[in-house]
Amino acid sequence: MDAKTIRSTKGRGRLYDSILETVGDTPVVRINNIAPAGVRVYVKVESFNPAASVKDRLALNIIEAAERAGTLKPGQTVIEATSGNTGIGLAMVCAQKGYPLVVTMAESFSVERRRLMRMLGAKVVLTPRAEKGTGMYLKAVELAAQHGWFLAHQFETSANADIHEATTAREVIADFAGDRLDYVVSGYGTGGTVTGLARVLRKERPETRIVLTEPSNAQLVGSGVAQERSADGGPATGHPSFEPHPIQGWTPDFIPKVLQECLDTGGYDQLIPVSGADGIAWAKKLAQREGILTGISGGATLAVAMGLAEKAEPGTVILAMLPDTGERYLTTPLFADIPEDMDAEESALSLSTPGYQMG
Catalytic residues: 55, 297
Q: Across the beta sheet with 78-81, what order do the strands follow?
A: 123-127, 101-106, 78-81, 150-151
Residue 219: how many other CB atoms lie within 10 Å? 18
Distance CA(47)–CA(273), nearest Å, equals: 24
How many whole angstroms separate alpha carbon 67 and alpha carbon 37? 49
The residue type found at 57 is: R
What are the helix (H) ranges across 5-54?
none
Neighbour count for residue 38 (Cβ, 10 Å)? 11
Give the residue ranges of DSSP H helices in the chain.
Answer: 55-69, 85-97, 111-119, 132-147, 158-163, 169-175, 192-204, 220-223, 257-264, 276-285, 296-311, 344-351
